[in-house]
Amino acid sequence: MAFEEPTISYNGEIREISLGKEADVTVGGETCYPFYLFEGKMPHRPVIAMDVYDSEPEEWPESILAPFADVVDDPVAWAKKCVESYGAEMIALQLVSTDPNGLDTSPEQAVEVTKKVAAAINVPLIVWGVANPEKDRVVLKMVAEACSGENLILGPVEEDVYKAVGAAAIAYGHTIAASTPIDINLAKQLNILLGNLGVSDEKILTDPTVSSLGYGLEYCYSVMERIRLAALTQEDERLQFPILANMAKEVWKIKETKLSQEDDPLLGDQTKRGILLEAMTAQLFLLAGTDILVMRHPDAIQLVRDFVDDLATDN
């Protein structure tokens, strides 16, 4: 008796979103659960953006600093190295220095560095604030205006800032990463609000908020799965957007990426451990429905690319 392979039918589809100035990268378009290629399409492979900080990072473990040691004090050189040496498909510029609880640098400075980085690379650029509504509102708005026509991806666009940043994105032609705290209903609600504001459906990505492996990853994993289920099998139009996971900063701040092998011999080699923690976090998010990953370590990125190749190649 032949085994009957059970397939399911889908009635929804993820939107295709073009990123970058020249629509250099397209994400979305899935008509099936992540990598269920035997019953649907996934016309675009997931994309990996590489992290670049706008100021020299503090408290990064040596294992993740090493690949960028020569460029960490220069965001432009850093972004170029990611693209030229590591083949980054996108760059995620993290405007960490603007944090009022940190260096509190000016919006003007953020604009300056964003313009320089955008000019130096030929891949789509994500520009990420510090999740401080007062500051992000000003910074992201000014960045949007100064980089008119660049089609940046601006985030995190939380409910507190969506009006200001959304309006600026419409006016100056950018894409939005709509950010909500690990909740499918809030994610949907914000997408509705953005639509009401007039943000085009071709300009929205969903950031359901992510955390690292070992530190609550399961919450984000299930929210992503639920978003995909609703989008693909319940025709929930306001959830049919590609998902972005700004995850590297979560992984590389956990204790287990910072402890050396001497600190805890059972945890093994610190560099390899960090790389695998990052790659595994990324992989699980891919399996749950992520389209754009923000990652850091070149070796972790390579592992994820190889895995995606293996998974997507019918052999």
Query: With binding defined as CB under 8 A, does residue 269 bind other proteins?
Result: yes
In degrees, rounded to 5, the angle at the alpha carbon of residue 291 between the alpha carbons of residues 285 and 293 is 65
Smallest gap, in angstroms, from Cβ of residue 288 to other proteins? Answer: 8
Binding range to other proteins, per CB under 8 A, among 74-82, 84-92, 148-156, 206-214: 206-214
Query: With binding defined as CB under 8 A, does residue 226 bind other proteins?
Result: yes
Q: Which amino acid is at 180?
A: T
d(Cα 127, Cα 155) in Å, to the nearest integer? Answer: 6
Question: Are β-strands 153-157 and 175-179 bridged in parallel, bridged antiparallel, or unpaired?
Answer: parallel
Question: From residue 39, how far is each of 5, 8, 9, 34 by CA, in Å?
Answer: 11, 8, 8, 11
Smallest gap, in angstroms, from Cβ of residue 311 to other proteins? Answer: 5
Closest by Cα among 98, 72, 89, 158 to 125: 89
Give the phi and the psi of residue 279 in degrees, each rounded to 5. Answer: -65, -40
* Residue for token pair 């269920």: 36
* Residue for token pair 């994500």: 126
Query: With binding defined as CB under 8 A, does residue 232 bind other proteins?
Result: no
Beta carbons within 10 angstroms of residue 260's beta carbon? 14
Smallest gap, in angstroms, from Cβ of residue 202 to other proteins? Answer: 29
What's the sign of the alpha-carbon dihedral 172, 173, 177, 180?
A: positive
Contacts with other proteins, 99-138, as mask; x by CB under 8 A? --xx------------------------------------
Smallest gap, in angstroms, from Cβ of residue 161 to other proteins? Answer: 17
Query: With binding defined as CB under 8 A, does residue 22 bind other proteins?
Result: no
Shorter beta-carbon distance to other proteins: residue 23 or 255? 255
Binding range to other proteins, per CB under 8 A, among 76-84, 161-169, 196-204, 247-255: 247-255
Residues 27-86 that bind other proteins (CB under 8 A): 35-38, 59
Contact residues toward other proteins (CB under 8 A) are 1-6, 8, 35-38, 59, 101-102, 211, 213-219, 221-222, 225-226, 229, 253-256, 258, 261, 265-270, 272-273, 275-277, 279-280, 283-284, 287-288, 303-304, 306-307, 310-315
